[in-house]
């Protein structure tokens, strides 16, 4: 295992800097109507996605400071205040608030040494290396940026740098599996083969906290193959795009099983 595989924090930082630059440029070019366009997320217009990314950036910066011993632990009350601030903003006010929060976050992120990625920190998933929590931010930023881009470009793709990071770390991510819909899945466990990266994962949707596990289970009755780009979009609930041709293929199982799985990822 190489240093970058055991501690991908330098790659995470480089991706975030690049993606924030691209997203901010995109948002800066929107007119008033663009901010109220429907994003891919059915619950959010574009400005609400920017709100989510902005509030997450502000909280993420505070968490980084706390983990590095430069600030206090982030209390629930503090997070609620930040969410409330962003939720109260009008579309016309969002770009300035988003930009301030991103700038604050990147000031902390870019000055954090690469070796801090291996530091054990306490977060919502317990004590884990800092780079694991920052990979969760890669997941959030990659997916929600795509939600914005695809509103105007149906051919938009997840950033390749994010895809490379996530394809190797999907077992670290909490995937959005709808428990009620997942309970109706009969073909379990479910295997995923990322044909371009060579990674493979297994999901047991009946587990108390379903997570992708590294490796392909021999007994998986449903196995889905496809490029990392499409597998990541599938397990993030972003697999349907009108008019687009899916590159996902069934290695084992039926189309009905795959359809049921698609519905379970929300």
* CA distances, 256 to each of 167, 210, 261 (Å): 26, 21, 9
Cβ atoms 84, 74 nearer than 8 A = no
Q: What's the pLDDT score for residue 3? A: 44
| Contacts of 37 by beta carbon, 8 Å cutoff, 6+ apart | 45, 46, 151, 152
pLDDT higher than 70, residue 189: yes
Q: Who wins on pLDDT, 178 or 234?
A: 234
Neighbours of 63 (CB within 10 A): 23
Q: What percent of the chain has a predicted confidence (pLDDT) above 90?
A: 83
In this prediction, residues 147-157 reach a mean pLDDT of: 94
Q: Coil, strand, or helix at residue 140?
A: helix
Report whether 24 contacts 106 (CB < 8 A): no
d(C-alpha 173, C-alpha 15), whole Å:
17
Read off the pLDDT band of 97 (50, 70, 90).
very high
Half-sphere exposure of 21 (CA within 13 A, CB side): 6
Nearest Cα residue to 130 out of 12, 211, 261, 266:
12
| Mean pLDDT, residues 37-59 taken together | 97
Q: Is the pLDDT of residue 110 over 70?
A: yes
* Overall average pLDDT of the 72-95 stretch: 97
pLDDT grade for 2, boundaries at 50, 70 and 90 = very low
Residue 67 scores a pLDDT above 50: yes
Whole-angstrom distance, CA of residue 80 vs CA of residue 171: 29
Query: 220 phi and psi, to 5 degrees?
Result: -70, 120
Q: Which of 48-52, 96-100, 144-148, 181-185 has the lowest mean pLDDT?
A: 181-185
In the predicted model, what is the mean pLDDT of residues 98-112?
Answer: 97
Whole-number Å distance between alpha carbons of 252 and 56:
39
Confidence grade of residue 61 (pLDDT, cut at 50, 70, 90): very high
pLDDT band at 4 (very low <50, low <70, confident <90, very high): low
Name all domains of the chain by residue range, CATH numbers in brackets: 3-168 (1.20.120.450), 172-264 (3.30.1050.10)
pLDDT recorded at residue 229 = 96
Looking at residue 239, its pLDDT comes to 87
Q: What is the mean pLDDT of residues 238-266?
A: 88
Share of the chain above pLDDT 70, in %: 98
Torsion of CA 223, 227, 233, 239, to 10 degrees: -70
- Count of C-beta atoms within a 10 Å radius of residue 124: 9
* Higher pLDDT, residue 187 or 31: 31
Cα–Cα distance, 146 to 224 (Å, whole number) = 23
Confidence at residue 1, expressed as pLDDT on a 0 to 100 scale: 43
pLDDT of 206: 85
pLDDT at 70 over 70: yes
What integer is the mean pLDDT of 187-216? 93
Interatomic CA distance for residues 192 and 77, integer angstroms: 39
Dihedral of CA 239/244/250/256: which sign? positive
Q: Report how far residue 67's alpha carbon sits from residue 61's, in angstroms, rounded to the nearest whole number.
A: 10
Over range 128-151, report the average pLDDT.
97
Strand partners of residue 38 = 45
Q: Taking the CA of residue 49 as centre, how many other CA atoms within 13 Å lie in the half-sphere pointing to its CB?
A: 28
**Strand 120-123, strand 212-214: pairing:** unpaired
pTM of the model: 0.93
* Mean pLDDT across the chain: 94
């Amino acid at each position: 295992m190489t240093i970058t595989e055991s501690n991908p924090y330098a790659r995470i930082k480089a991706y975030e800097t690049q993606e924030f630059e691209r997203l901010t440029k995109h948002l800066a070019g929107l007119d008033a109507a663009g901010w109220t366009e429907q994003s891919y997320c059915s619950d959010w217009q574009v400005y609400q996605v920017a709100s989510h990314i902005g509030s997450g950036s502000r909280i993420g910066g505070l968490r980084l400071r706390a983990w590095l011993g430069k600030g206090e632990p982030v209390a629930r009350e503090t997070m609620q205040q930040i969410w409330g601030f962003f939720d109260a903003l009008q579309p016309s006010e969002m770009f300035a608030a988003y930009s301030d929060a991103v700038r604050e976050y990147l000031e902390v992120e870019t000055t954090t040494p690469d070796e801090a990625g291996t530091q054990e920190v306490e977060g919502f998933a317990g004590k884990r290396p800092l780079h694991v929590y920052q990979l969760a931010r890669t997941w959030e930023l990659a997916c929600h940026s795509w939600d914005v881009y695809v509103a105007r470009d149906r051919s938009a793709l997840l950033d390749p740098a994010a895809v490379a990071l996530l394809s190797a770390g999907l077992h670290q991510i909490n995937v959005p599996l709808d428990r009620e819909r997942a309970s109706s899945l009969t073909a379990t466990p479910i295997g995923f083969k990322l044909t371009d990266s060579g990674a493979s994962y297994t999901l047991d949707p009946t587990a108390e906290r379903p997570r992708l596990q590294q490796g392909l289970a021999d007994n998986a009755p449903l196995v889905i193959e496809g490029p990392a780009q499409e597998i990541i979009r599938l397990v993030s609930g972003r697999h349907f795009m009108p008019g687009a041709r899916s590159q996902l293929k069934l290695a084992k199982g039926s189309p009905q099983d795959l359809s049921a799985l698609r519905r379970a990822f929300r």
